[in-house]
Amino acid sequence: MITEPKPTEQEHRAQKVVYRNAASASVYGLGLIGALVYYIGHAATFWLGVLGFFKAIVWPAMLVYELLQYLHL
């Protein structure tokens, strides 16, 4: 009778994680690119362009803040 070898404890613990339906990452990425184009395109100086870069990174937080301020929650 042929038996399969038992997996070692390390092999037993290691599990492959597969992320599915990560569409939000692509939406955020497109929003980041759009915000970069907008903010840097409207920058009059180099430092306003640098500020625009940082604004583009945190645009979702600014959007949620303004939305909550509008809704008075």
Residue 60 has a pLDDT of 86
Helices (H) and strands (E) in the chain, counts: 4, 0
pTM: 0.58
Residue 46 has a pLDDT of 95
Residue 51 has a pLDDT of 95
Q: What is the pLDDT along the chain (73 residues), one digit of tens a residue?
A: 667 666 666 555 666 776 676 677 888 888 889 999 999 999 999 999 999 999 999 988 888 899 999 998 6
3-state secondary structure of 19: coil
Rounded Cα gap, residues 57 and 38, in angstroms: 12
What are the tokens at 9? Answer: 């404890």
